[in-house]
C-alpha cells in the first residue's frame, strides 16, 4: 500500500494504471473509517484491479458553525484499516492541493441539492459534488463506491455523473448498521452512551414505517413515523420525507416503491438515515 499526498502524483499513477488496462476502484471518504467504509473497500478490492481510498476532510462541504475542525481524524488507525483490507493507494491530499487560494470553480446539481439536507446545509452538496468530480478526474476511476446512508448524496452524484459524462460508474452499497440498528457514521462518536440509546429509535421507526407502507397510505406512514421520532428525548427533526427513488421528488400516493429519509438531531449530533420501502 502506498500513501500519496499530492494530486498530480496520484493522477500520474492512476493514468499509468489506466494505460496498462487496469480497472480502478475509488472509495471516497473523509476518514474515521468504520465497518461501513470497509464494506465499500471490500467491494472495490473484489471488483477492481486497483483500489484507491481517498481520505480528505473537505472544508467546502462544511457550512459556518459546523463540525469541520472537530471532525474525527484518526489517521493512523485509518491507514491500518486500509492496509489490512488490501487497499493499493491511500490518497491524502492537503486542502491547499485540492482547493488552492485561487480556486474558483464549483459543481452544482440544481434542484437535487436544494431539498432535504440542502435546506439546512445550503452549500453542502456544492462542496460534495465539486470534490467528488475532482477525485474522479484525479483517479480515473472506473467505479466509485458510495454507501446508501446518505441517499441524497448518492442521487446527486449519480446525476452529476450522467449530466457531465463522467466515465466513472457509481456503485451504490447497502447501509451497514450496528447490531442495535443504528446506521454506522463517523459522527456516531459524538454521541454519549445515553444518546446512542435514544438514536436507536431512528432506525426502529424506519423499519416499522416500511412495514406500514405495504398496506397504508404513504401520508399515514409519514405521520406515524414523525410522531415516533418526536418522542426521542433531547432530539430535533430537520426533516422526514417519503421521496421518489430516482429523483427525490415527492412520491405519488400510488407508488409501489419509495424511500423514507430523515435527518434528526440527537443532542448536538445530526444523524441521517433512510430505508427503501416496497408495497
Residue 178 lies in a domain: no
113 and 45 housed in the same domain: yes
Is 144 part of any domain?
Answer: yes
Residue 220 resides in a domain: yes
In a domain, 27, yes or no: yes
Q: How confident is the model at residue 254 (pLDDT cuts 50, 70, 90)?
A: confident
Last residue of a domain, one of 150, 173, 196: 173
Helix-then-strand count for the chain, H and E: 9, 9
207 and 95 assigned to the same domain: no
pLDDT of residue 11: 98
Q: How confident is the model at residue 252 (pLDDT cuts 50, 70, 90)?
A: confident
pLDDT at residue 92 is higher than 90:
yes
- Residue 100: pLDDT over 90: yes
Residue 253 reports pLDDT greater than 90: no
Does some domain include residue 180?
no
More confident residue, 252 or 23: 23
Q: What is the predicted pLDDT for the residue at 247?
A: 94
Last residue of a domain, one of 173, 198, 225: 173
Residue ending a domain, among 148, 173, 198, is: 173
Report how many domains make up the chain. 2
pTM of full prediction above 0.75: yes
How far is it, in rounded angstroms, from Cα 211 to Cα 170?
29
What is the average pLDDT value for the chain, to the nearest integer? 97
Q: Which of 17, 34, 37, 103 is catalytic?
A: 37
| All three cell numbers of 250 | 415527492
Residue 103 annotated to the active site: no
Dist. CA 53–CA 70, nearest whole Å? 22
The H or E element containing residue 263 is: strand 257-266
Split at pLDDT 50, 70, 90, the class of 211 is very high
Both 45 and 168 in a single domain? yes
Judge if 39 and 159 occupy the same domain. yes
Q: Which domain holds residue 252?
A: 186-273
Q: pLDDT per residue over 107-142, tens digit each?
A: 999 999 999 999 999 999 999 999 999 999 999 999
Q: What is the mean pLDDT of residues 138-150?
A: 98
Percent of all residues in the chain with a pLDDT value above 90, rounded to a whole number: 99
CATH of the domain at 59: 3.40.50.620
b/e per residue 65-104 (b: at least 16 CB within 10 A) = eeeeeebbeeeeebbebbeebebbbbbbbeeebbbeeeee
pLDDT at 188 (0 to 100): 96
What confidence tens digit (pLDDT) does each residue in 42-89 have?
Answer: 999 999 999 999 999 999 999 998 999 999 999 999 999 999 999 999
Amino acid at each position: 500500500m502506498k500513501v500519496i499526498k499530492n494530486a498530480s502524483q496520484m493522477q500520474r499513477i492512476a493514468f499509468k494504471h489506466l494505460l496498462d488496462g487496469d480497472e480502478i476502484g475509488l472509495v471516497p471518504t473523509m476518514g474515521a473509517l468504520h465497518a461501513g467504509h470497509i464494506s465499500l473497500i471490500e467491494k472495490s478490492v473484489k471488483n477492481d484491479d486497483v483500489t484507491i481510498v481517498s481520505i480528505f476532510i473537505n472544508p467546502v462541504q462544511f457550512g459556518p458553525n459546523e463540525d469541520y475542525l472537530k471532525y474525527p481524524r484518526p489517521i493512523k488507525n485509518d491507514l491500518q484499516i486500509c492496509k489490512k483490507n488490501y487497499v493499493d493507494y491511500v490518497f491524502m491530499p492537503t486542502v491547499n492541493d485540492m482547493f488552492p487560494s485561487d480556486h474558483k470553480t464549483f459543481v452544482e446539481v440544481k434542484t437535487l441539492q436544494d431539498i432535504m439536507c440542502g435546506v439546512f446545509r445550503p452549500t453542502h452538496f456544492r462542496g460534495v459534488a465539486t470534490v467528488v468530480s475532482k477525485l474522479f478526474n484525479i483517479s480515473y476511476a472506473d467505479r466509485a463506491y458510495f454507501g446508501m446512508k446518505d441517499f441524497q448524496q448518492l442521487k446527486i452524484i449519480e446525476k452529476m455523473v450522467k449530466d457531465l459524462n463522467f466515465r466513472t460508474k457509481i456503485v451504490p452499497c447497502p447501509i451497514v448498521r450496528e447490531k442495535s440498528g443504528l446506521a454506522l457514521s463517523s459522527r456516531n462518536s459524538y454521541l454519549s452512551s445515553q444518546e446512542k440509546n435514544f438514536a436507536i429509535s431512528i432506525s426502529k421507526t424506519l423499519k416499522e414505517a416500511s412495514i406500514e407502507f405495504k398496506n397504508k397510505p404513504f401520508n399515514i406512514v409519514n405521520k406515524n413515523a414523525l410522531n415516533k421520532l418526536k418522542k426521542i428525548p433531547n432530539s430535533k427533526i430537520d426533516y422526514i420525507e417519503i421521496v421518489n427513488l430516482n429523483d427525490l421528488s415527492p412520491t405519488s400516493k400510488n407508488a409501489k416503491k419509495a424511500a423514507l429519509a430523515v435527518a434528526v438531531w440527537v443532542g448536538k449530533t445530526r444523524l441521517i438515515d433512510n430505508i427503501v420501502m416496497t408495497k
